[in-house]
Structure 1
Amino acid sequence: MFKFVIIAVLLGVSLAFPQHHEEEPYVTREANQVNPDGTYGHEYELSNGVAVQESGVGGQYATGGFRHISPEGEEIQLAYTADENGFHPQGSHLPTPPPIPEEILKAIEYIQAHPTPEEQADREYRLQHNQ
């Protein structure tokens, strides 16, 4: 999981360095902290507007984000969490899925309203044992 986070951050940073840069970016701010209890935090900023930050508990979860300026001059920001359920990025530049077609929504409603005998038995069992 954290290898994916590192790869995602490195990818984001690499996107911030278009091939036509005249001057190599340099670090303008950096902070790192690793604690005995496994918590950590790190952040840095570069002269070209790239900023990266992450904190968390090693091997358990992380939250963070980065920003950079696209070749088109737009500021791109990505925030993320990573935990036992995977990597969860958020950013206005990320694609969104298309809406679910009305026919599919109707089919899902029908299936939920007409459970099989096994599904109905499972629902009843859960109601009895969760109260």
Structure 2
Amino acid sequence: MNSLVVIFMILGCALAQQRPQAQPLGKVISILKQLYDLSPDGSFQWSYDSENGISASEQGSVKQIGNEAGVVVQGQYSYPSPTGENVVIQYIADENGFQPQGSVLPTPPPIPEAILRSLAYNAAHPEEDDQHQKPGPGKRY
């Protein structure tokens, strides 16, 4: 039994010393065009195009949002899909969050007709909502 333990320990040490071969890196993709500009007022713009069809650009500026300064940006990126289609995503990021647009992004299903009628009815009859907001004398929810 002890000899088996010693054999497995020696085998384990021998295997632990073997190092896996480094995997070769993929093809290096060259940047064909790259621009970057930062202004003293905090505004900026950058862009790049690569040889594999990927490109991106963005412009941003400082904006006063409430009591704080924030950055508002808009930009786009594009890449070739596996099917060969050129995918383009445009976006705005501001006080309302990140807002992307593009033909490949999922969209919510349409609102059912019954829900639309209900919303229209509620908007046309706000007084019914007011009656249910405040309990009358001696009434509880």
Same fold (TM over 0.5): yes
In structure 1, runs of 5+ residues without a counterpart are 1-21, 121-131
The change in CA–CA distance for 1:28 and 1:119 in structure 2 (over 3 A counts) is farther
Q: Flag the structure with more relative contact order, 1 or 2, with Cα contacts below 8 A and sequence separation at least 6.
A: 1
| Between 34-43 and 55-64, the greater mean CA deviation after superposition | 55-64
Two-structure CA RMSD over aligned residues (Å):
2.1
Q: Does 1:107 align with 2:111?
A: no
Q: Which has more helix, going by share of residues? A: 1
The residue type equivalent to 2:75 in the other structure is: G
Aligned length: 100
Scaled by the length of structure 2, what TM-score is found? Answer: 0.65
Give the letter for the 1:57 counterpart. Answer: S
Which amino acid counterpart does residue 29 of structure 1 have in structure 2?
A: K
Tell me the equivalent position of 1:67: 78
Report Cα offsets for 1:83-117 as digits up to 9, x if no partner: 01111101011111111101001110111111136
Give the TM-score normalised by the residue count of structure 1: 0.70
Structure 2: stretches of 5+ with no match in the other structure? 1-25, 63-69, 132-141
State how far apart, in whole Å, the 2-side matches of 1:63 and 1:87 are: 9
The answer as to 2:107 corresponding to 1:96 is yes
Separation in structure 2 between the aligned mates of residue 78 and residue 67 of structure 1, nearest angstrom = 6
Shifted more, 24-33 versus 56-65: the winner is 56-65
Q: Would you say 1:56 and 2:60 are equivalent positions?
A: yes
Could you tell me how far 1:23 is from its partner in structure 2?
2.9
Amino acid at match of 1:107: S
Write out aligned runs for 1:1-131 (5 A): 23-58=27-62, 59-116=70-127
Distance (whole Å) between structure 1 residues aligned to residue 107 and residue 130 of structure 2: 32
CA drift at 1:118:
6.9
